[in-house]
Amino acid sequence: MTLTHLLTKSATNGRGFMMKAHHLLLTALTFACGFAPLHAADWLQFRGNDQRAVVTDSGVPTEWNVGEQADGSDSKNIAWKHKLPGRGVSSPIVVRGKVIATSASGAVQERLHVHCFDAASGKLAWERQFWATGRTFCHPSSSVAACSPASDGQHIFAFFSSNDLICLDLDGNLKWYRGLTYDYPTAANDVGMSSSPLVIGQTVIVQVENKGESFAAGIDAYTGETKWKHARKADMCWTSPTVMSGVDGKAVVLLQSTDRLTAHDPVTGKQLWTFDKTCSGIPSSVGSSDIAFIPSDGITAVRASSGSTSPEVLWSNNKLSPGTPSPIVVDDQILVINGAGALTAANTKDGEVAWRARLKGSFWATPVVAGNHLYVVNRDGIGQVLKLGKEGEIVSENKFGEPVVATPAIADGALYVRGDQHLFKVAKP
């Protein structure tokens, strides 16, 4: 058998079936972009499938204890935990019963890891390692594994601060590899980069903004080829692309830079509208229905009408200034954690403050919501659970025993938390 035969066979094997399956999935995802809270079967990217970090699942424990015994005999509601090599501040994701986490090890975190665990048993299904092709310097508080991976349900797109973008299937087979700093050598930030990729349909959207070559790109999920690429402001920015619904119900991607926010068609990259005001370079926007809540002058809510190149400003409230965590929207409230660790809930309709709660510690991780409970973990690794109602009531504090910077994931009644050293599954027995 020659290489040609093998390559031809490989190229045609199952491609038709996969394409059909993929189109079905795309259809499902398109409907998912209607933004009703999803059933918590999967958690496909940073802040979940629709990036609102909210699921209806009410089975997640509200109390847990990691314990101190190595065998976990004194733990409570910790289904499993795994030591991870090196460092990582990226969120885990959950895809079809598999938990994906990334980390970086080595003298300068030049070794990139993608781990896949069986969600039920916690058993390591596979691990793949790569050598970073881009720069791996970053601030000690961050990591080269800072960007959260994303999935379209059948592929994993692992992205790193070195701007290595790796596509694997769910069995760990390498589909394609892009080194975006290898492609564009000045695209780098030696403080570290942390923008997480966003998958919409068959496009993986990455935002690479730094003091060198800065751009956003739409990468073909199947081939890794560039579908579109736009220059962005050359400035340090750590925000992630965000999905929201356009006026026609189609998905729109928001790219938030320090000088403006632009909205694009995810397939073509065509700019649809622009919000020309200074925006935060760390917390990302959140979309709810056709309204974008932008970290700008506190929070500014905007809605774009059909054909308009600039959105209507619905309200702005400078008392809602988010710190590092991104805002989230729960029903008719937007929740913001400021730099001092205060959680504020405001009405999405007018931005008026509804209630405030004082949290313990400082935060990098974005809170997540399951059912009527909010889960937020501070940098010291204390997970605080709030019952949401007319106001937020702290119902428990639970220690992970190590720093936590990554935003948790929720799937099938479990909370997945990536600590500085371990990946934890919090679930009832």
Partner 1 sequence: MKTALVACVVSLVCLFTVASLAGPVDEAVKSLQSLGKEGVDNQAATRAWSVAAQANANELTTLLAGLDEANPLGANYLRAAVDVVVDRTLSAKSPAPLSAVESFLKDTSHSPRARRLAFEVITRFDAAAPDRLVPTFINDPSTELRRDAVQRLIDQATSLAKDESSKPAAIEAYRQAFTGSRDLDQIELLTKELKNLGVTVDLPTHFGFVMNWKLIGPFDNTGESAFDVVYPPEKEIRLDAEYPGKGDKPVKWIDHATTDAHGKVDFNKALGKANGVTGYAYTEFVAPQEMAVDFRVGCICAFKLWVNGTLVDGRNVYHSGTKIDQYIGRGKLKAGKNAILVKVLQNEQTQNWAQDWEFQLRVCDATGTAILSQDRVAAK
Q: Residues 212, 281, 361, 403: which binds partner 1 (CB under 8 A)?
A: 212
154, 170 in Cβ contact below 8 A? yes
Residue with tokens 């781990």, as numbered in its chain: 115
397: helix, strand or coil: strand
From the number of C-beta atoms within 10 Å of its C-beta (0-12, 13-18, 19+), residue 124 rates as exposed
142, 282 in Cβ contact below 8 A? no
Angle at 367 between CA 249 and CA 383, to 5 degrees: 155
What would the two tokens of residue 189 be?
């930030």
Question: Of 22-30, 81-89, 220-228, 317-325, which part binds partner 1 (CB under 8 A)?
Answer: 220-228
Question: Of 18-26, 188-196, 275-283, 405-413, which part binds partner 1 (CB under 8 A)?
Answer: 188-196
Per CB under 8 A, does 160 bind partner 1? no
Q: Which of 191, 233, 242, 178 is nearest to 208 (CA)?
A: 233
Q: Which is nearer to partner 1, 269 or 371 (CB)?
A: 269
43: helix, strand or coil: strand
State which of positions 307-366 bind partner 1 (CB under 8 A). none
Residue 331 C-beta: closest distance to partner 1, Å: 40
From the number of C-beta atoms within 10 Å of its C-beta (0-12, 13-18, 19+), residue 220 rates as middle
**Main-chain dihedrals φ then ψ at residue 132, nearest 5 degrees:** -60, 135
Question: Of 72-80, 216-224, 294-302, 359-367, which part binds partner 1 (CB under 8 A)?
Answer: 216-224
Kindly give, in sequence order, each residue whose CB lies less than 8 Å from that of residue 137, ignoring residues fewer than 6 positions away: 108, 190, 191, 192
Q: Residues 91, 189, 194, 242: which binds partner 1 (CB under 8 A)?
A: 189
Q: Which is nearer to partner 1, 182 or 355 (CB)?
A: 182
Per CB under 8 A, does 175 bind partner 1? yes
Per CB under 8 A, does 231 bind partner 1? no
Residue span 4-43 as binding mask against partner 1, x where in contact by CB under 8 A, dash where not: --xx--xx--------------------------------
Residue type, 177: Y
Residue span 276-305 as binding mask against partner 1, x where in contact by CB under 8 A, dash where not: ------------------------------
Q: Residues 192, 197, 383, 392: which binds partner 1 (CB under 8 A)?
A: 192
Q: How far apart are CA 382 and CA 385, in angstroms?
A: 10
Q: Which residues in this chain contact partner 1 in the complex, by CB under 8 A? A: 1-3, 6-7, 10-11, 106-108, 126-131, 133, 137-139, 166, 172-179, 182-183, 186, 188-192, 210-212, 219, 223-226, 236
